Structure formats: C-alpha cells, structure tokens
Amino acid sequence: MAPRFWNILGRRLTGEITLEELQELEEMLQQDPELYSIVELHDQYFYCPNEDASDQEDESWLKQQHILAQHFPEDFNEQQPASNKLKNKRRRILYYFAAACTLLAVFALQLFRTSDRDIQNTLLSTNTSDITVNILPDGSKVWLNKNSRIKYDEKFGITNRDIHLTGEGFFDVKHMNELPMIVHAGKVKIKVLGTAFNVKYAAGTGKVETSLIRGRVELYNGEDKLILQPNDKVVIDENLVPEKEHIVFKKLNVEPKSGLIPEIAWINNRIVFNEEPFEEVAKKIEEKYNVKIIIEDKELKNEKFTGSFYDETLDIVLTALQLAYDFNYSKSQDKIIITK
C-alpha cells in the first residue's frame, strides 16, 4: 500500500479525516479485501473501551479533595458548607444577572433585525429521484438526498448561517470562527463551526438523526445541549417515552466489505447495511427505488443483513437478498410483497 494510505488510515482513527480522504481510503481498501478485514479488526481494538471504572477512583478523589482542602479551605472544607454555599449563591446571582443582560441584548437585536423586512429566502429542494450537491453562499457544501429541502435567507454567510432542513442532508461546512452555522431540523438545532455531518429529519415525525464524521457539533434540543465527537451518532425521537429516553447515543460503524459508513452512503447513491434488520433494509430500498415493500412474515422482519448496493436494478437487489434469506416476492404495480 502507498504511504498515503497509512497516513489517512491513521487520521481516520482519530476522526481527523476529510470526506475526500475517506472516499479515497475506501477506494484503496476495496482493492485489498484481506487487508480490509484486518483494518476492521484493528479498528475494534483501537476503539475498545479500555478502562474499568473502579472503587479506587473514589478513593483517589478523596485524596485529591483532601489536598485541595489544604490549599482552598473555604471551597473544600466540609466543616463550613454554609459559607461555601453562600459564595456559590452569590456567584450564581451574578451569573443570572449576566445572562439576563445578554438575553435583553439579544432581544433588542432581534427587534432591530425583524424591523428590516423583505428578507429574501432561498429554497433548494430535490424531487423523488435525484440527489444534488449544492454550494452555499459561504462556500459550504450540502448534499441533498431525495425528497429533501433546505431554506436560508439572503443574509446567510453575512450576518447569519441559519439553515432549515427537511429530509436528509450531508453538510461539509466551511470554517468561519465568528459565525457558526446553525442547522434547524424540527425542534432540534445543530450548531457547527467547520465540520462534516449528516442530518436526517422527516417532517412531522419528531425524529432527528445526527451523525458526525469530522469536527465538532453542538446539538440543542430544548434545554438540553449535547456535544458530538467524530463517529458519534445521536438520535432524538420525541415520540419515545419516558422523556429521558428521547436521546440515544450510538457510534458510527463502517460496513466491513465496502468500507462505507451506512449513514452517508446515499451521497454516492449507495445503500449500505450493517447488521440491520430486514425491516430497515426494506425502508432504505423503498427510498432508493421509490417502491413500497411489504414484509408479510414477522420473523423475516427481524433477520439481520450486512452488505451494500450501488447501481444494481431492483431485481438484482432482491435476488441478492434472496441468497441471504429464503423468501419469495411478488411485484404488483409499485408494491413488492415479501413472503416466506
């Protein structure tokens, strides 16, 4: 393998790879499947959680606390918790006061802003069969999946970088220190400086999926603020109860054979599955081929599948799936019915 291969392989491990490099790596790995499987094995080692939380930890904190108390008796001495609290309280009041001032300033600014009317909005949308790549006024790139749209106003890239998304988009955001980009997807706001990430939000579903490939993003869901690291995926689904379970953290997984990350495979017009139940597989096929798939067998729905498809016809895809699972299918108009 070329020296460059080893360089970008290393950068991928620490999440510092660019999208272009990721695609390059994928092409190189496809030429050497044996090496690919070893890379996969090593990935698991590299990411393997390697530390045990133990009782020793609390003990070491007690020690540290004792040392801190010698230097800062007013902050760490348990004998005087009252004065400590008072001090904290004073700070807190100051903090709230500062927050209130900021809020007031923001409010005033808003008033000022909304007074200049006639703001022109730009709307970009895709139909049911095309994926588009768009360059935004600030130089950022957005891939828009089928049936998706984004909206921003004429001040975009000048005084704001607010963008509204419905559907699915992959953002490769240009770094602008003073002006973060804010992607609005339903009730979720995603704040970024310069990164690459994918957002999926089907209008009206209350479910927003954010996958971070590189850089750092901040996610706001009401009062919750989350910070994502590369390879983090967060699913916020407000339909889930209780409330705390709205938010689910995952890690992005590369599908072994193709070297692709399922969440962003659509950019290359691919669909990729990594240990996904047949039901989810069917959903992705529905989106790509614009058909309706009905799985009549309950057991079949939960069968797991790993693999990827590119430009194959629907029949080839279905035949390939049949090799993995024993099933029959029949087509009628736009519907495909799957039976055991």
- Rounded to the nearest 5 degrees, what angle is found at the Cα of 286, between the Cα atoms of 282 and 287? 120
Residue 16 touches other proteins, criterion: CB under 8 A: yes
Residue 240 touches other proteins, criterion: CB under 8 A: no
Rounded to whole angstroms, the Cα distance separating 129 from 281 reads 19
Smallest separation (angstroms) from other proteins to the CB of 338: 32
Site string for other proteins, 130-169 (x = CB under 8 A): ----------------------------------------
Beta carbons within 10 angstroms of residue 308's beta carbon: 18
Residue 235 touches other proteins, criterion: CB under 8 A: no
Residue 87 touches other proteins, criterion: CB under 8 A: yes
Smallest separation (angstroms) from other proteins to the CB of 247: 10
Residue 225 touches other proteins, criterion: CB under 8 A: yes
Rounded to whole angstroms, the Cα distance separating 54 from 56 reads 5
Q: Which helix (DSSP H) or strand (DSSP E) does residue 106 occupy?
A: helix 81-115
Considering only residues 245 through 274, tell me which ones interact with other proteins, judged by CB under 8 A.
249
Instruction: Tell me which stretch binds other proteins (CB under 8 A): 68-76, 156-164, 199-207, 323-331.
Output: 68-76
Among positions 64, 110, 290, 319, the unique one binding other proteins when judged by CB under 8 A:
64
Strands (E) in the chain, as ranges, are: 121-125, 132-135, 141-144, 149-153, 162-172, 181-185, 188-192, 196-201, 207-214, 217-221, 224-228, 232-237, 247-251, 271-277, 292-295, 304-309, 328-332, 335-339
Residue 179 touches other proteins, criterion: CB under 8 A: no
Instruction: Tell me which stretch binds other proteins (CB under 8 A): 66-74, 130-138, 148-156, 165-173.
Output: 66-74
Specify the residue, 142 or 236, whose C-beta has the smaller distance to other proteins.
236
Helices (H), 48-80: 55-71, 73-76
Instruction: Tell me which stretch binds other proteins (CB under 8 A): 13-21, 106-114, 281-289, 319-327.
Output: 13-21
Residue 100 touches other proteins, criterion: CB under 8 A: no
Rounded to whole angstroms, the Cα distance separating 210 from 85 reads 39
Rounded to whole angstroms, the Cα distance separating 21 from 32 reads 17
Residue 67 touches other proteins, criterion: CB under 8 A: yes
Look at residue 253 and give its three-state secondary structure.
coil
Amino acid type, 319: T
Q: Exposed/middle/buried for 85, CB within 10 Å: 0-12, 13-18, 19+?
A: exposed
Among positions 163, 183, 213, 228, the unique one binding other proteins when judged by CB under 8 A:
228
Smallest separation (angstroms) from other proteins to the CB of 23: 19
Specify the residue, 40 or 279, whose C-beta has the smaller distance to other proteins.
40
Rounded to whole angstroms, the Cα distance separating 337 from 331 reads 6
- Which parts of this chain interact with other proteins (CB under 8 A)? 3, 6-7, 9-11, 13-16, 34-35, 38-39, 41-42, 44-46, 48-52, 57, 60-61, 63-65, 67-68, 71-72, 75-76, 87-88, 91-92, 95, 225-229, 232, 249
